A and B are shown apart, each in its own frame.
Chain A
């Protein structure tokens, strides 16, 4: 008799239903990622190595800049073939990182013949990617080899200079060192840096004799800076705190929630990847001149939201599930679970992250000001342009004091809020 348990053994997904189709797509995606990521890693490394070597050699030999020295198609085919060879005949770095290796039937060591077959057929199934859709791609099936998990037994691993990946990494490091060294040292910036004392002298003289009569204007702008930072942090927290629940992997399990998760994560990482200084320029154009502090505030805000949501949601992802289970088991609603099991675990880290962000925003707001985003940074920019160095000196000192003050304050407060966690860990250790 068939038992219900048998029905739950592995079955290929049913492609006729929407759910089964989704599942099949997911499996395909996972398989492709598993196979392609080592391949791309190897590809990128080989490409970088070639570019660096070409660059270094042509600079040293001809004093010219070249990136590949060969036509692009030769370059592309060359690195693809190198990687194919590497993955078929050696233990490539990508496979090493993924802890995979090439093995025959019942984990036998591959023979040379098998490797040749594997290499030749690699061109049919890997380069047009499509071959990877099968559970065992063509080149694996015919050669009898497959990419298996690399289990280290009792034998000692080969030293790095005996493995191809070790040699490649060493070569790469040597190439980076040689190229950067030859390119930076040879330029004459060092000479110019040391041989222009008059201008530097003026600035240093201003730094020791600041124009104190100017302090009122400077402090006024300083307050503007602080306001910008506080506003950006406050509103950032208000937006990021609820948003973080949709950006936490463990709280977004249903398909709709997962869609939100992907969307929010994607948009926010885009926002985060653009520096606040660039955002400030964008917003300056957008809101127009004369609204400078507002543009600076917007730039800080957008970064605060993106950054805080990420920090918050990572904290959410690591909450203990025990209390969540306990409150669920008492029959509490999801609101109760949130209020009694989740929020107590995250409230202090949230406060601590927000303080940290406030600290960053203060520092960032002076920099955003330097491109015209309002506050004391902008004042500093104007004074430097007008060569009023002794007045600029006052601004520099004020900024230093502010940053130092906020830094100390926020780290004190943060330690206070993190202490709860430390006590908790100590108790856990004692009772263990």
Chain B
């Protein structure tokens, strides 16, 4: 039996001296090439789960195996080598506002560069060529020298995607990538993620707020409730009853077309 690409074992995260249990014994695994969507109410632990994988947040207990390696045990130097194969896309884009789009895109290569090269900003010719290619891929080659904060939200998120592409990732973590965007822009951003998943074979973990988006793009859905895994299955399995169970009885489904 081959081992899964990503495996969580009893992952637990407790914030601030035991006051908030954000994740409680979460165990599941993800196969290579899946597009896994994580849903759940606000505060259910979606962001915490994603951030534990590349250890932007330190898990409190349990293990996470990425390609067979338990990342919770890695030293910070080794963690960096794992991180560079894991792209991340953020809800609020997290670009360096004062720098150009090109520099922002190139920053995806920092994990591959020596300390002094990155300090002096000496990106190689190939890196620069790759950056232009990736910007072209997300339709932003004509913005390469604009400042990041001069772009619209949707454009900024595409720069975020280009930055992740620069890492040549095996795994992509995206935390509510489209919740700051309008419906049309949301779909264009989601389609870039879908393309990465299908054409480049990147395994994608995305937390999403809209079930319609989750159904449309996910190959599999998991749901968290109060830090516990409460659903794991295919998008078609979520019917009215399951939906109420995940989001509470008051909830109504909203569509994003």
Contacts and interface: CB of A to CB of B under 8 A. Distances in A.
Interface of A: 3-5, 7-11, 322-323, 325-333, 335-336, 339-341, 344-345, 347-348, 420, 423-424, 427-428, 431
Interface residues of B, number: 53
Contact of B90 (A8, A322, A341, A423): A322
B81 A4 contact: no
B94 A325 contact: yes
Contact of B99 (A3, A325, A331, A344): A344
12 contacts: A3-B10, A4-B25, A5-B12, A8-B18, A322-B90, A326-B90, A327-B107, A333-B115, A335-B115, A345-B98, A347-B98, A427-B150
A175 B153 CA distance: 58
A424 B97 contact: yes
A344 B14 contact: no
B98 A420 contact: yes
B19 interface: yes
B60 interface: yes
A331 B14 contact: no
B7 interface: no
B110 A327 contact: yes
A4 B119 contact: no
A8 B22 CA distance: 11
A8 B98 contact: no
B97 to A, nearest CB: 5
Given A5-B14, A325-B90, A340-B110, A333 B95 contact: no
B54 A5 contact: no
A5 B54 CA distance: 21
A19 B171 CA distance: 37
A89 to B, nearest CB: 34
Contact of A332 (B21, B62, B85, B118): B118
Contacts of A347: 98
Nearest to B79: A331
B83 A339 contact: no
B95 A329 contact: no
Closest 5 CB pairs of A and B: A331-B111, A331-B84, A322-B94, A332-B110, A8-B14
Given A330-B167, A423-B149, A344 B18 contact: no
Nearest to A339: B119
Contacts of A431: 152-153
A325 B107 CA distance: 12
Nearest to B51: A325
B61 to A, nearest CB: 4
Contacts of A329: 54, 56, 83, 86-88, 173
B24 to A, nearest CB: 5
Nearest to B93: A322
B96 A4 contact: no
B144 to A, nearest CB: 17
A330 B111 contact: yes
Contact of B149 (A328, A332, A424): A424
Given A329-B54, A330-B107, 12 more contacts: A4-B62, A5-B24, A8-B12, A8-B60, A325-B94, A327-B110, A330-B83, A331-B85, A332-B118, A335-B118, A336-B107, A424-B98
Given A4-B10, A330-B111, A332-B110, A340 B24 contact: no
Interface string B147-190: 00110110000001001000100000100000000000000000
B56 A328 contact: yes
Contacts of A424: 97-98, 149
Contacts of A327: 107, 110
B92 interface: yes
